[in-house]
Amino acid sequence: TRSGRVTGVQTCALPIYGVNPKKMLNRFVEMAETGEVHYLIIGFSPVAQNRFKIVDISDEWDVVMQLGILTQCRLKLTLEEYT
């Protein structure tokens, strides 16, 4: 779009073995709260010349084990191109 906001819904499952889902979730939340900007890389290539920032984030905890250990979650991100 002209505003640079990414619209529409894209679903992408990224099982990354050996990565703690809770730590990854916390990192994405931190990036959204601080307004960090990064290149969006898909298939080894940047999606645009400019970087993107997370303007909205929501999460769903799919699998929680005993003692409240998160083993699987889903994130929904709204990205905006940073110009």
Residue 50 is predicted with a pLDDT of 92
Residues 28, 38 contacting (CB under 8 angstroms): no
Rounded to an integer, what distance in angstroms lies between the CA atom of residue 33 and that of residue 41? 21
Residue 27 is predicted with a pLDDT of 92
Residue 4 is predicted with a pLDDT of 60
Residue 9 is predicted with a pLDDT of 52
The pTM for the full model equals 0.75
CA angle (32 as vertex; 65, 69 as ends), nearest 5: 10
Nearest to 22 by CA among 54, 80, 76, 64: 64
Residues of the chain with pLDDT under 70: 1-17
